[in-house]
Structure 1
Amino acid sequence: MVFKVEDFQSFGKEQYEAALASVNNFTKGYQAIATAYADYSKKSFEDTSAYVEKLSGVKSLEKAIELQTEFTKTAYETFVAESKKITELYAGLAKEAYKPFEGYVAKFTPPTSH
């Protein structure tokens, strides 16, 4: 098998373009993840502040326990939903970062025989 200079140059260009596209995809995905974390942190802080404010006005132990139970349930549900969202963003990041290399990898992957 003989390689031509043009083939080698084309190969290098393909690699460079795939790497650049991968970095761009990674950057966009990472920004989305950072934004999701920031939004969740802000919401969590606001929810906790509102809870403390409500709790400071409570006159009975029964009402305090009711408020605590409600806050805990809501905080847990929000945490689970946001964790799922962020996990999906990480999975999407991995897929998008790999996507520019799919065609390249396919060229060098031997076909499987069934």
Structure 2
Amino acid sequence: MGTSPDVPPSGVAAPVETAPIGLRAIANAYGDYTRKSFEETRCFVEQLTVVRSPDKAMKLQTEFARQAYETFVAESQKIYELHSKLARQALGPWQGFVARTTETGVESPDVTRRK
């Protein structure tokens, strides 16, 4: 009973194919973050204009700062991941070369060493 080379043996997960990441996906992520940030700021200003007491204004401002920080961290992580995937894609062909070179023990020539 032979198995096809395209089908992994049972119990072994097949490699996950990921869609290529491009600059457009990164630009879209930045655009999404900008829109989200703008919308949060707009809502904050609308709420702040109707507040009558300084205590409520401080509470509203504190909540806005917390929410803005959480959004910034979450969106920054998404953008970082996209940049990381793009870099791995760009370096993909070189990673195989480096792995093969280190496995075979091929060293770079040392110009200063003479026989």
| TM score, norm. by length of structure 1 | 0.66
Q: What corresponds to 1:62 in structure 2?
A: 55
The alpha carbon displacement at 1:101 in A equals 4.5
The alpha carbon displacement at 1:75 in A equals 0.2
| 1:34-49 alignment, distance < 5 Å | 34-49=27-42
Root-mean-square deviation (CA, aligned residues, Å) is 2.2
The alpha carbon displacement at 1:102 in A equals 4.3
| 1:21-36 alignment, distance < 5 Å | 25=20, 28-36=21-29
Partner SS, residue 47 of structure 1: helix
| TM score, norm. by length of structure 2 | 0.66
**Partner Cα separation in structure 2 for residue 107 and residue 92 of structure 1:** 19
The alpha carbon displacement at 1:30 in A equals 1.2
Using CA pairs under 8 Å that are at least 6 residues apart, name the structure with larger relative contact order, 1 or 2. Answer: 1
Structure 2 unaligned spans of 5+: 1-19, 107-115
Q: Which one has the bigger helix percentage? A: 1
Q: 2:24 corresponds to which letter in structure 1?
A: Q
Q: What corresponds to 1:90 in structure 2?
A: 83
Percent of pairs with identical residues: 51
**Partner Cα separation in structure 2 for residue 84 and residue 100 of structure 1:** 26
Partner SS, residue 52 of structure 2: coil
The alpha carbon displacement at 1:108 in A equals 7.1
Give the length in aligned residue pairs: 86
